[in-house]
Amino acid sequence: MQPEPPSQRIVARIRTAIAAGDLRPGDRVPSTRELMRTYGVAMATATKALTALRQEGLVEPQPGIGTVVARRPRARASAAPSPADRLVATAIRLADTDGLTALSMRRLAAALGMPTMTLYRHVAGKEELLLLMTDAAFAEAPLPGSDPSTGWRASLATSARLQWGVYRRHPWVAEVMSFTRPPMAERAMAHTEWNLAALERAGMALPVAMHATMMLASHVRGTAVNLEWEANAEQDTGVDNVEWFTAQEARFARITAGGAFPAFTRLAALGPDAVDYELDTLFEFGLGRLLDGLAALLSP
């Protein structure tokens, strides 16, 4: 018998805790870093476990808090999904599991148990498939109802954290998003509209607001690109992030021994816990500083 994958073991334990009432709706569940430390697993494994729990509707992201037990169970569909919906859902599952590079029309057809050419009755090709997948991913994190009384900073932070949640659940979305040829995904475009409206209400000219919106989106996506990259690197090498850094210690010591990198040397002397490299932390730090900069720009 094959041993149970570590991510499934984590999912089973958290699922059991929720069913037993040990974790109640609204309670915070362990973060990626906490799961890594508790179970001794790599970041990709911990992320996969949290993604599986979200897909089951057991947990949900809570801006400013983290991942919590879902307050309401995910509504059941009243009717069977259409072939196109089933196609998109299966494609998302494959991309979540093995990354975007592993997704092909041939593999998708095999997963659905149908001839490859049958897929083209529902989508024109892979480009349209990726568009539909992206739109479905953003549909999982809808923006709240518009409230003109909400300040621009809170509005932009809400959008950024919802986008971050999309990338956290579906790291491949970061590869699909682009500024030069952005996908015309309606629910992703809604975030741009939301931010433009918030900044225009604050008195910013629309062209400047568009640059500000792109800057924020670039920060979220730029940080999220590391999610997919790290998962692929671990899959290709079998070495997780912690093991990789450990293996670089001797090389780091040789490079810094001559005194050419004094700041690096002082930082290393502070110990491994001096800097929190968790991507959630880096995302929040960058978001805060970007909003500070926009506040200065908006000041009279």
Amino acid at 242: V
Alpha-carbon distances of 3 from 7, 43, 141, 252, rounded to whole Å: 12, 20, 34, 37
The residues facing 59 across adjacent strands are: 69
Residue range 16-45, pLDDT digits in tens = 778 767 788 888 899 888 888 888 888 878
At residue 183, φ and ψ (nearest 5 deg) are -65, 135
Which of the two residues, 192 and 3, has the higher pLDDT score? 192
At residue 37, φ and ψ (nearest 5 deg) are -70, -45
DSSP structure class, residue 142? P
Residue range 37-75, pLDDT digits in tens = 888 888 878 888 888 888 778 888 876 677 888 875 444
Q: pTM higher than 0.85, yes or no?
A: no
The domain spans of the chain are 8-69, 83-139
CA distance 168 to 194: 21
DSSP assignment of 189-210: HHHHHHHHHHHHHTT--HHHHH
Predicted pLDDT at 77: 43
CATH of 83-139, one of 1.10.10.60, 3.40.50.720, 1.10.15.40, 3.50.50.60: 1.10.10.60
Q: Is the pLDDT of residue 240 over 50?
A: yes
Predicted pLDDT at 199: 96
CA distance 137 to 271: 39
Its CATH class, for the domain covering 8-69, is mainly alpha
Find the mean pLDDT for residues 69-98.
76
Predicted pLDDT at 88: 92
Match 């690197």 to its residue by tokens. 233
- Identify the three-state secondary structure at position 62: strand
Predicted pLDDT at 232: 66
Are both 8-69 and 83-139 of the same fold? Answer: yes
Q: What sign does the dihedral 147-151-152-158 (CA atoms) show?
A: negative
